[in-house]
Structure 1
Amino acid sequence: MTALAPYACQPSDSRGRLHPESLSTFRSPWQRDRDRIIHSSAFRRLKHKTQVFVEHDGEAYRGDYFRTRLTHTIEVAQVARTIAGALGLNTDLAETVALAHDLGHPPFGHTGEDALAALMAPHGGFDHNAQALRIVTRLERHYADFDGLNLTWEALEGIAKHNGPVLAPLPYALAAVNAQWDLELHTNASAEAQVAAVADDVAYNHHDLHDGLRAGLFTEAELAELPVIGPAFAEVDRLYPGLDATRRRYEALRRVFGVMVEDVIAVAQNRLTSLQPRSVDEIRGMEGPIIRFSKPLYQNIKAIKSFLFTRMYRAPAVVVERENVTRMLNDLFPLYLASPERMPDQWRDAALALPDQTARARLVLDYVAGMTDRYAIAEHQRLFAA
């Protein structure tokens, strides 16, 4: 096994688990965390939670080729392992954070998150990172000795702040976990968690270009006007004149993917060489993240994101779908809150036993946020069909 860099998270230095467990004979603490996430119910449900396009019959954009939260998560984990390995970081921890980073997403992607955040505003709000922590510390209930997955401190830290320090006011779900076990939310996360965050950016920028093309929301010719992407298409045309359209698209976007990954690695290597951090705590104490894109590439990515926002995330057909799914959640959530008997027995009984409206709203949130796209649609049809 290749020796880890001094600024990497070392398995022997893990701060352990909230509920002490004996060490595994075969797996490091973060291999064990990774495996628990993969075998969790929430991870399986990612298969039927979508990024941009809603998954159900009859949709113009329905198709097995579009990414779901699950396929996106697998892609993020692959990128995270690649970058972490190149930098001498702990690949198992980077992969663990990557696999967990979207567990808290509700149905219908960011549209669902926006809708639930508005519905929960009187009750402490909603944030998908905080909800992921709630899932892995409380809602997964498969073990005899504890609720949740009993992940290590480093995994929980990475889930909480892979996008950077988290400042007050905290979402209630995050505040509850942090009160039980201080995650040092005012500091940066480990380099491994930062890698997971950048890997998320790489993956979704890459696959949203693929999915938008497949959905017919824009063309290769339009993409060729953008930075990074235009030169990638030009290089493919130079090397493979007359290449068929599908191969041309994949070859070009594969190069865009490579540019992003190589840029992150090069920038991190330069900064690590310059700053010479001697421990993971020095990484946590830095002014900002050490894992990031170069400034020129970051500006180019901003231009690509701006294009995707206009042409994909706010495309007319997608906006109509956003309105439809927002309406569904605006129907379902108040109904369950007012009439808990509409939920399955275990959720109904738990809701009726709660002392106040806020506690009940949080339980309803757990139920609704855990739904897949198709289940939420089916429930709405069952409860609101004329």
Structure 2
Amino acid sequence: MTAAYATRPETSRGRLHPEEGSAHRSAFQRDRDRIIHSSAFRRLKHKTQVFVEHEGDYYRTRLTHSIEVAQVARTVARTLGLNEELAEAVALAHDLGHPPFGHTGEYELQDLMEPFGGFDHNAQALKIVTRLEAHYAEYDGLNLTWETLEGIAKHNGPVTGELPFALAEYAASQDLELHTHASAEAQVAAIADDIAYNNHDLADGLRAGLFTLDDLRALPLIGPCVEAVDRRWPGLEPGRREHESLRRFFGLLVEDVLAESRRLIAEAAPASAEAVRLLGRPVIRFSGPVFEKLKEIRTFLYHRMYRHWTVQRMRRKAKLVVRELFELFTSGPELMPSGWNACALFDPTERARVVADYIAGMTDRFALQEHRKLTDPMVKG
């Protein structure tokens, strides 16, 4: 049953370039399908979360992560009476703007682009779906609905202060009301992202041997899950023991979000999707106690995974690759392919932005290959 505060496709604010509707798909279903068929979405297959793409076939990539986020978002949205297709569309698009090498690549591009208007992966995702995907005859981008674009831009909350250039540029052509919270569906996509990465970072860390399941027994939330599995199946083989523990942890997070969100929605009693935006606070959240316990888990992961010496060594290499590619392309734009190298004629700021777009679109593998071609004399360019 659709809730009063759900976003309805029939009352969508529409697309920047008007189109006829589909006889078989809602506006948000069409958005979802366009995202899935985009080049940027396919490239997520070879963009990683924590580990670099060549380090193993079983670690999460941005693509598998986005699919997991979309699955959680649909479940939560359906349970709360929200629009599943809009939640899914935002979830599938939320990482399109990530450069290669996970957050390491993003932080390096942020530093490099600081003099040129900044870099932000949410703003970059918006730029991709409104401009850089150039396949349609009548417009650049995917021409998504206002509601999906809003969700991409501000699913993590209102965007205030100095805007990243890509976001400010688009805001001049269409007002996404960046000062308000997004729809409940976009908030669902954001919390689904948190649920997915809290779960799979633990799974990837276990697979990489950076810690063991017994190390997790002392942690809140996940520790009791491990103990429950051990009580029910003593002596269970390691792989099954990890899976059973993590699936319980995953379910615990989903149930907490559902319970807390129901409470917040009942308290606020929003009568429409617009009322959700104007509340001044999110309605989709973890409860306070679970949120605080998740901080302890993130602290554990920071020390035992993100700061592990093997991860740090690869991060150092990744930062070097991104920085050297940026310096090579900005000083020699003719080194970029046709269609990109016209930025040789641009002023330094515009040139840097084109270079950042080019690098942000790279997969881990392609970035490493390009770097070798440009820096190793023995590799044919």
Indicate the TM-score class for this superposition, using the shorter chain for normalisation.
over 0.9
What value does the CA root-mean-square deviation take over the aligned residues? 0.8
- Given the two structures, how large is their TM-score scaled by the length of structure 2? 0.98
Residue 287 of structure 2: aligned partner:
294
Partner of 1:346, secondary structure, is: coil
Q: 2:344 is matched with which residue: 335, 352, 356?
A: 352
Partner of 1:258, secondary structure, is: helix
**Which ranges of structure 1 fall in alignment gaps of 5 or more residues?**
57-61
Identity of aligned residues (%): 63
Q: Deviations over 1:223-254 (max 9, x none)?
A: 11100111001111111122111101100010
Distance between the aligned counterparts of 2:36 and 2:276, measured in 1?
28
Q: Deviations over 1:294-345 (max 9, x none)?
A: 0000011010011011111111111111111101111110110111111111
Residue 206 of structure 1: aligned partner:
199
Partner of 2:218, secondary structure, is: coil
Distance between the aligned counterparts of 1:360 and 1:277, measured in 2?
46
Distance between the aligned counterparts of 2:116 and 2:357, measured in 1?
13
Residue 86 of structure 1: aligned partner:
79
Q: 1:16 is matched with which residue: 14, 29, 35?
A: 14
Distance between the aligned counterparts of 1:117 and 1:173, measured in 2?
13
Q: Deviations over 1:89-142 (max 9, x none)?
A: 000000000000000000000000010011111100100000000000000000
Instruction: Tell me the amino acid that sits aligned with residue 338 of structure 2.
Output: D
Instruction: Tell me the amino acid that sits aligned with residue 375 of structure 1.
Output: F
Distance between the aligned counterparts of 1:272 and 1:125, measured in 2?
36
Cα offset, 1:220, TM superposition: 0.9
Q: 1:379 is matched with which residue: 367, 370, 379?
A: 370
Cα offset, 1:274, TM superposition: 2.3
Cα offset, 1:352, TM superposition: 2.6
Q: How does 1:120-159 map to 2 (within 5 A)?
A: 120-159=113-152
- Given the two structures, how large is their TM-score scaled by the length of structure 1? 0.97
Distance between the aligned counterparts of 2:282 and 2:302, measured in 1?
25
Instruction: Tell me the amino acid that sits aligned with residue 371 of structure 1.
Output: M
Distance between the aligned counterparts of 1:165 and 1:271, measured in 2?
18
Q: Which moved more, 1:14-23 or 1:262-271?
A: 262-271
Are 1:5 and 2:6 an aligned pair? no
Instruction: Tell me the amino acid that sits aligned with residue 344 of structure 2.
Output: L
Distance between the aligned counterparts of 2:158 and 2:141, measured in 1?
24
Q: How does 1:144-223 map to 2 (within 5 A)?
A: 144-223=137-216
Q: Which moved more, 1:215-224 or 1:75-84?
A: 215-224
Cα offset, 1:172, TM superposition: 0.5
**Which ranges of structure 2 fall in alignment gaps of 5 or more residues?**
none
Residue 51 of structure 1: aligned partner:
49
Cα offset, 1:351, TM superposition: 1.1
Cα offset, 1:353, TM superposition: 3.8
Distance between the aligned counterparts of 1:115 and 1:276, measured in 2?
43
Distance between the aligned counterparts of 1:42 and 1:324, measured in 2?
24
Distance between the aligned counterparts of 1:287 and 1:188, measured in 2?
7
Instruction: Tell me the amino acid that sits aligned with residue 340 of structure 1.
Output: P
Distance between the aligned counterparts of 1:314 and 1:200, measured in 2?
22
Instruction: Tell me the amino acid that sits aligned with residue 268 of structure 2.
Output: L
Distance between the aligned counterparts of 1:194 and 1:55, measured in 2?
29
Distance between the aligned counterparts of 1:18 and 1:173, measured in 2?
17
Runs of 4+ in 1 over 6 A off after TM superposition: none
Distance between the aligned counterparts of 1:33 and 1:287, measured in 2?
27
Cα offset, 1:287, TM superposition: 2.5
Q: How many residues align?
A: 377
Partner of 1:180, secondary structure, is: coil
Distance between the aligned counterparts of 1:85 and 1:279, measured in 2?
17
Distance between the aligned counterparts of 1:230 and 1:66, measured in 2?
22
Q: 2:94 is matched with which residue: 101, 109, 124?
A: 101
Residue 263 of structure 1: aligned partner:
256
Instruction: Tell me the amino acid that sits aligned with residue 33 of structure 1.
Output: D
Distance between the aligned counterparts of 1:65 and 1:326, measured in 2?
23
Instruction: Tell me the amino acid that sits aligned with residue 201 of structure 1.
Output: D
